[in-house]
Chain A
Amino acid sequence: MSKVETQAQPSQPVKLRPGNIQLDPQGKLRHFLAIEGLPKTVLTQILDTAEIFTASEEKKFELLKGHTIANLFFEPSTRTRTTFELAAKRLSADVLNINISASSSSKGETLLDMLRNLEAMHVDMFVVRHGSSGAAHFIANHVPPHVSVLNAGDGSHEHPTQAMLDMFTIRQHKPDFPSLRVAIVGDLMHSRVARSQIHALNTLGVGELRVIAPKTLLPAGIEKMGVQVYQDIDAGIKDVDVIIMLRLQRERMHGAFIPSEQEYFKLYGMTETRLALAKPDVIIMHPGPINRGVEMDSAVADGNHSVILQQVSNGITVRMAAMAMAMRNPDGSSAS
Chain B
Amino acid sequence: MSRIHIKGGHLIDPANNVDAVTDLWIADGKIQAIGKAPEGFTADQTINADQQIVCPGLIDLSARIREPGQVHKASIASETTAAAKAGITTLVCPPDTDPVIDSPAIVELIHLKAREADMSRLHMLGALTRNLDGELISEMHSLKNAGVLGMSNANKPVPNSLVLRRAFEYAATHNLTVFIRPDDIGLSNKGCVHEGALASRLGLPGIPEAAETVAVARHLELIEQTGVRAHFSQLSAARAANMIARARHDGLKVTADVAVHHLYLTDIDIRDYNSACHLIPPLRSERDRDGLRNAVKLGVIDAICSDHQPHEPDAKQAPFPDTEPGLSGLDTLLPLVKRLADENLLTLSHAIDCVTRLPANILGLDLGHLSVGAVADVCLFDPNMSWLVSSGNLHSAGHNTPFMGWEMHGRASSTLINGQLIFSSDND
Q: Which residues of A contact B (CB under 8 A)?
A: 1-3, 5-7, 9-17, 21, 36, 110-112, 130, 132-135, 137-138, 154-158, 192, 195, 219-222, 224-225
Q: What 4 pairs across the A-B complex have the smallest Cβ distances?
A: A221-B197, A157-B203, A14-B405, A156-B203
Q: Is B204 an interface residue (CB 8 A)?
A: yes
- Are A10's CB and B407's CB within 8 A? yes
Q: Which of B320, B393, B403 contacts A134 (CB 8 A)?
A: B320
- Are A110's CB and B317's CB within 8 A? yes
- Are A6's CB and B386's CB within 8 A? yes
- Are A130's CB and B319's CB within 8 A? yes
Chain B nearest Cβ from A33, distance in angstroms: 9
- Are A138's CB and B318's CB within 8 A? yes
- Are B200's CB and A13's CB within 8 A? no
Q: Which of A12, A17, A134, A225 contacts B319 (CB 8 A)?
A: A134
- Are B320's CB and A220's CB within 8 A? no
- Are B201's CB and A110's CB within 8 A? no
- Are A112's CB and B404's CB within 8 A? no
Chain A residues lying within 8 Å of B199, measured Cβ to Cβ, are 219-221
Q: What's the tally of chain B residues with a CB closer than 8 Å to chain A?
A: 40
Known: A9-B407, A17-B271, A221-B197. 11 other contacts (CB 8 A): A3-B385, A6-B387, A13-B403, A110-B314, A132-B320, A134-B273, A138-B318, A138-B320, A220-B197, A222-B197, A225-B197
Q: Can you list, as one digit per residue, whether each of B391-428 has a CB less than 8 Å from chain A (1) or not (0)?
A: 00100000000011111000101000000000001001
Chain A residue at minimum C-beta to C-beta distance from B193: A133
- Are B204's CB and A133's CB within 8 A? yes
Chain A nearest Cβ from B287, distance in angstroms: 13
Chain A residue at minimum C-beta to C-beta distance from B428: A1
Question: Assuming A12-B405, A133-B320, A138-B319, is B204 touching A155 (CB within 8 A)?
Answer: yes
Chain A nearest Cβ from B306, distance in angstroms: 18
How far apart are the CA atoms of A155 and B208 in the complex, in Å?
19
Chain B residue at minimum C-beta to C-beta distance from A16: B405
> Which of B201, B318, B393, B404 has the most C-beta atoms of chain A within 10 angstroms of its own C-beta?
B201
- Are B405's CB and A5's CB within 8 A? no
How far apart are the CA atoms of A11 and B386 in the complex, in Å?
12
Chain A residues lying within 8 Å of B201, measured Cβ to Cβ, are 36, 195, 225
| Residues of B192-216 whose CB lies within 8 A of A | 195-206, 208
- Are A154's CB and B386's CB within 8 A? no
Q: Is B272 an interface residue (CB 8 A)?
A: yes
- Are B196's CB and A221's CB within 8 A? yes
- Are A220's CB and B196's CB within 8 A? yes
Q: How many interface contacts (CB-CB < 8 Å) are there between A and B?
A: 113
- Are A195's CB and B407's CB within 8 A? no
Q: Is B388 an interface residue (CB 8 A)?
A: yes
Q: Is B322 an interface residue (CB 8 A)?
A: yes
Chain A residue at minimum C-beta to C-beta distance from B402: A13
- Are B196's CB and A9's CB within 8 A? no
Q: Can you list, as one digit per residue, whether each of B312-344 has a CB less than 8 Å from chain A (1) or not (0)?
A: 001001111110000000000000000000000
- Are B319's CB and A135's CB within 8 A? yes
The DSSP consensus for interface residues of chain B is: mixed
How far apart are the CA atoms of A7 and B409 in the complex, in Å?
11
Q: Is B274 an interface residue (CB 8 A)?
A: yes
Chain B nearest Cβ from A138, distance in angstroms: 5
Chain A residues lying within 8 Å of B196, measured Cβ to Cβ, are 220-221
How far apart are the CA atoms of A7 and B384 in the complex, in Å?
11
Chain B residue at minimum C-beta to C-beta distance from A18: B272
How far apart are the CA atoms of A179 and B200 in the complex, in Å?
27
How far apart are the CA atoms of A10 and B406 in the complex, in Å?
9
Chain A residues lying within 8 Å of B274, measured Cβ to Cβ, are 17
How far apart are the CA atoms of A15 and B403 in the complex, in Å?
11
Chain B nearest Cβ from A127, distance in angstroms: 16
Q: Which of B200, B202, B317 contacts A222 (CB 8 A)?
A: B200
Q: Which of A132, A192, A220 contacts B208 (CB 8 A)?
A: A220
- Are B206's CB and A220's CB within 8 A? yes
Chain B nearest Cβ from A109, distance in angstroms: 12
How far apart are the CA atoms of A7 and B387 in the complex, in Å?
8
How far apart are the CA atoms of A157 and B314 in the complex, in Å?
23
Q: Which of B208, B314, B322, B388 contacts A9 (CB 8 A)?
A: B388
Q: Enumerate 6 A-B pairs (CB-CB under 8 Å) in ascending A order.
A: A3-B382, A5-B386, A6-B384, A13-B405, A110-B318, A134-B273
Chain B nearest Cβ from A131, distance in angstroms: 9
How far apart are the CA atoms of A199 and B322 in the complex, in Å?
25
Chain B residues lying within 8 Å of A16, measured Cβ to Cβ, are 404-405
Chain A residues lying within 8 Å of B319, measured Cβ to Cβ, are 111, 130, 132-135, 137-138, 154-155
How far apart are the CA atoms of A221 and B320 in the complex, in Å?
21
How far apart are the CA atoms of A87 and B384 in the complex, in Å?
60
Q: Which of A10, A111, A154 contacts B318 (CB 8 A)?
A: A111
How far apart are the CA atoms of A132 and B198 in the complex, in Å?
16
Question: Assuming A14-B405, A130-B319, is B273 touching A138 (CB within 8 A)?
Answer: yes
Chain A nearest Cβ from B212, distance in angstroms: 15
> Which of A3, A11, A110, A195 has the most C-beta atoms of chain B within 10 angstroms of its own C-beta?
A3
Chain A nearest Cβ from B412, distance in angstroms: 9
How far apart are the CA atoms of A36 and B199 in the complex, in Å?
14
Chain A nearest Cβ from B85, distance in angstroms: 8
Chain A nearest Cβ from B201, distance in angstroms: 7
| Residues of B222-257 whose CB lies within 8 A of A | none
| Residues of B364-389 whose CB lies within 8 A of A | 382, 384-388
How far apart are the CA atoms of A55 and B318 in the complex, in Å?
41
Chain A residue at minimum C-beta to C-beta distance from B200: A219
Question: Assuming A3-B385, A5-B388, A225-B200, is B407 touching A137 (CB within 8 A)?
Answer: no
Chain B residues lying within 8 Å of A138, measured Cβ to Cβ, are 273, 318-320
Question: Assuming A111-B318, A132-B322, is B406 touching A13 (CB within 8 A)?
Answer: yes
Question: Assuming A130-B319, A132-B320, A132-B322, is B203 touching A220 (CB within 8 A)?
Answer: no
Chain B nearest Cβ from A1, distance in angstroms: 4
- Are B273's CB and A112's CB within 8 A? no
- Are A134's CB and B405's CB within 8 A? no
